Amino acid sequence: MNPDILRERQNATFDIEKLTNILDGGAERTNRRREIREVLVLNDPDFDYGTPTSLPTMILKLREYGISDPVEINWYKSMYWGTGREALGLHYVMFLPTLYTQCDSEQFNKWVPLIIGTYAQTEMGHGTHLRGLETTATFDPATQEFVMHSPTVTSIKWWPGGRNPLFLPLIFLSIPLSASLFDLFLSGFALPTCSGIVIGDIGPKFGFDAVDNGYLKLEHVRIPRENMLMKYAQVKPDGSYVKPLSSKLTYGTMVFIRSLIVGNAGIVLSQCCTIAIRYSAVRHQSEIRAGEAEPQILDYQTQQHKLFPLLATAYAFLFAGQYMIDTYNRISGDINQGDLSEMPELHALSAGLKAFTTWTANTGIEVCRMSCGGHGYSRSSALPDIYVEFTPSCTYEGENTVMMLQTARFLMKSYRQVQAGQQLSGAVSYLNKVHHRVMAPQAVSSQLDLNLNTLVDLYEIRAAMLVELAAQSIQQESARGKCQEDSWNNSTIDLVRASDAHCHYMVLKMFRDKVDQIEDPGVHSVMSTLAHLYAIHGMGNFTGDFLQAGVLTGAQVPSVSKCLKGLLAEVRPSAVLLVDAFDHHDKMLNSVLGRHDGNVYEAMFEWARSSPLNRTEVHESFHKHLKPLQAKL
């Protein structure tokens, strides 16, 4: 064990195992996760880490072990595939959930156990604007079939992930069967017997290489009427159409994935913090005091300023992910019972948090990579691969700007309800006070009140102010004679800013609520410090908002920075222990810099020597190209 890492792990002020249990949702969950990891994967003789051939093995093993719980499937898959995406990701997180939520019972029993599929919604011309999708589904009562067709080049289905060139069970959206409704169909295509189908791969991408993203062009292809997913909407044999309770029920799978992505952003950020902080504990560079030994780079204040707010953010997003999934499960349960009353709130929350967490994590991964210097740029660190695999999450499952505007739509609607005298409940209840809040600068001392509850209140006031400013922008545009749509478009910068502040407040509130539930004094103390760091760091980044909201005075601004520096110093002794609590196994992290034992340099040399370019003393290209050239010179 590297001596630096060993020293970092002495004098722990909190029980790491208890913190790991909190992250897992209890000691039993930790034990089960480790059982899957250690027993069912690492000690399984059939386990051939991460090679393509192990994909069929993985599926058969999941069935052999009877692992069907989505969280446990993900634990198993993440051990198998480490930090990379794998070809079946879309099957498990989109295709299956769509069958679970959109099939009637007969369809469910017929399809769920049997098939592997993809989710083909996006077209070359439309990914965001679903009401613009062009693929048609025309019912033919004479044959009881739907005729599926791609009428234009822009209607070609583009991006479906994990499409199998041989068999194409896929779920796709077609354009409205009536006014503004969409419907989902399960293809029954089997190539090459099915004529009228043109499929292929969309070509090389930025990354995501384990997933083959394809295209699908349909030329009047017929599928049985029964292939329309009919839990919520039906087409009867006579061609009559039964509308769903809400046209947005078809969007349910996207809400589910967005909810999952929130926690996933926390997991990915926790992986990167583990790598960067462990490496920063063993890397010595330059000097602080002339003539003394080179310090650990983790002792540089700038290094702490790069990494510790991200460490706090990783914990914040992991707790937000728990809250999001609990909320999704609760509200989707109500929806299943026909109560759609909270569907708008679920959509607004999942859309906003998906955008907020993925944008922040995306930037954070790069900060972690750059904080590791040159070795961060090496694939041995795993950080470049993590970035390449994560960054599309800002685009897929709802492009982030568009998602923030969906949340803004809900905030504006809520604000108008308050103006009309209604009393709001739920995540936007803070808007009830927006008219009664003293927005003038409060007479406060130059010292900042560090109480976490006070900080949550300040974020709430900031969000309320930005919601009000966005609403006022729309009203001002309207007063200038702009139509409603142009007034909205001319205010979208303010609307995204209001949604971002709303999400920031929600995440801090969830973090504070989680800290309040922690009973162990040591864990409570270190988590409270991280929650403070998360809040103060955000206040430092958005000082203007807090000044504008009148909850921070010019005299207090220097104390924000002073307080931040104090919190960084407070986190320093626990930094390595806090990433140990994430409990990422070396095999899964797959990072030379993030090894649990901290023996970076020896491992890096071995990693480099194993490179294919080092298989021979002299690379074959010398004999093939250079030597013949030398002979001619």
In this structure, the number of other CB atoms found within 10 A of the CB of residue 129 comes to 9
- Tell whether residue 405 is a contact of ligand FAD (CB under 6 A): yes
Contact 371, 363 (CB under 8 A): no
- 74 to 93: interface string for ligand FAD, x by CB under 6 A: ----------------x---
Q: For the chain, first and last CA: distance in Å? A: 53
Residues within window 368-397 making contact with ligand FAD, judged by CB under 6 A:
392, 395-396
- Tell me the three state secondary structure of residue 431: helix
Dihedral, 477, 480, 485, 486 alpha carbons, nearest 10: -80
Name the binder of 264 from ligand LLIQVSAO, ligand FAD, none, CB < 5-8 A by kind.
Answer: ligand LLIQVSAO
102/406 with CB nearer ligand LLIQVSAO: 406
In this structure, the number of other CB atoms found within 10 A of the CB of residue 290 comes to 5
416/615 with CB nearer ligand LLIQVSAO: 416
Is 145 marked active-site?
no
- Tell whether residue 556 is a contact of ligand FAD (CB under 6 A): no
- Tell whether residue 121 is a contact of ligand FAD (CB under 6 A): yes
- Tell whether residue 129 is a contact of ligand LLIQVSAO (CB under 6 A): yes
- Tell whether residue 97 is a contact of ligand LLIQVSAO (CB under 6 A): no
89/598 with CB nearer ligand LLIQVSAO: 89
- Tell me the three state secondary structure of residue 207: coil
Report the nearest approach of ligand LLIQVSAO to the CB of residue 401 (Å).
10
State the Cα–Cα distance between residues 157 and 149, nearest whole angstrom: 11
Closest CA to 91 of 59, 56, 61, 118: 118
DSSP, res 228: B
- Tell whether residue 128 is a contact of ligand FAD (CB under 6 A): yes
283/502 with CB nearer ligand LLIQVSAO: 502
Put residue 162 in one of left, alpha, beta given phi > 0 → left and psi -120 to 50 → alpha: left
The response to whether 161 counts as a known ligand-binding position is yes
- Tell whether residue 120 is a contact of ligand FAD (CB under 6 A): yes
Tokens of 625: 């190209």
Burial class from Cβ neighbours inside 10 Å (0-12, 13-18, 19+) for residue 632 reads: exposed
- Tell whether residue 169 is a contact of ligand FAD (CB under 6 A): no
- Tell whether residue 542 is a contact of ligand FAD (CB under 6 A): no
Name the binder of 120 from ligand FAD, ligand LLIQVSAO, none, CB < 5-8 A by kind.
Answer: ligand FAD
Residues within window 232-261 making contact with ligand LLIQVSAO, judged by CB under 6 A:
248, 251, 254-255, 257, 260-261
Stretch that binds ligand FAD, among 37-45, 114-122, 144-152, 577-585 (CB under 6 A): 114-122
Residues within window 389-408 making contact with ligand LLIQVSAO, judged by CB under 6 A:
396-398, 402, 406
Among 2, 20, 74, 118, binds ligand LLIQVSAO (CB under 6 A): 74
384/392 with CB nearer ligand FAD: 392
Q: Which of the residues 72, 134, 397, 460 is marked catalytic?
A: 397
Report the nearest approach of ligand LLIQVSAO to the CB of residue 160 (Å).
8
State the Cα–Cα distance between residues 552 and 538, nearest whole angstrom: 13
Stretch that binds ligand LLIQVSAO, among 24-32, 126-134, 358-366, 586-594 (CB under 6 A): 126-134
What value, to the nearest 5°, has the Cα angle with vertex 588 and ends 586 and 591?
55
Residue 30 main-chain phi, psi, to 5 deg: -60, -45
Report the nearest approach of ligand FAD to the CB of residue 190 (Å).
20
Beta bridge partners of 168: 189
Cα 330–chain centre separation: 20
Report the nearest approach of ligand FAD to the CB of residue 493 (Å).
10
> How many residues contact ligand FAD, by CB under 6 A?
20
Burial class from Cβ neighbours inside 10 Å (0-12, 13-18, 19+) for residue 68 reads: exposed
Among 36, 93, 277, 588, binds ligand LLIQVSAO (CB under 6 A): 93
Contact 174, 142 (CB under 8 A): no
Report the nearest approach of ligand FAD to the CB of residue 126 (Å).
6
> How many residues contact ligand LLIQVSAO, by CB under 6 A?
32
Burial class from Cβ neighbours inside 10 Å (0-12, 13-18, 19+) for residue 212 reads: middle
Sequential DSSP letters for 6-68? HHHTSS-SS-HHHHHHHHHTSHHHHHHHHIIIIIIIIT-TT--TT-TTHHHHHHHHHHHTT--
DSSP, res 300: S
Among 345, 366, 385, 399, binds ligand FAD (CB under 6 A): 399
Residues within window 286-345 making contact with ligand LLIQVSAO, judged by CB under 6 A:
343-344
Contact 353, 324 (CB under 8 A): yes
Contact 87, 211 (CB under 8 A): yes
Name the binder of 184 from ligand FAD, ligand LLIQVSAO, none, CB < 5-8 A by kind.
Answer: none
Contact 40, 602 (CB under 8 A): no
Q: What is the binding site for ligand LLIQVSAO (CB under 6 A)?
A: 74, 89-90, 93-94, 119, 121-122, 127-131, 161, 248, 251, 254-255, 257, 260-261, 264, 343-344, 347, 396-398, 402, 406, 409, 413
The residues annotated as belonging to the active site are 397
Residues in the annotated binding site for FAD: 122, 161
Residues in the annotated binding site: 122, 161
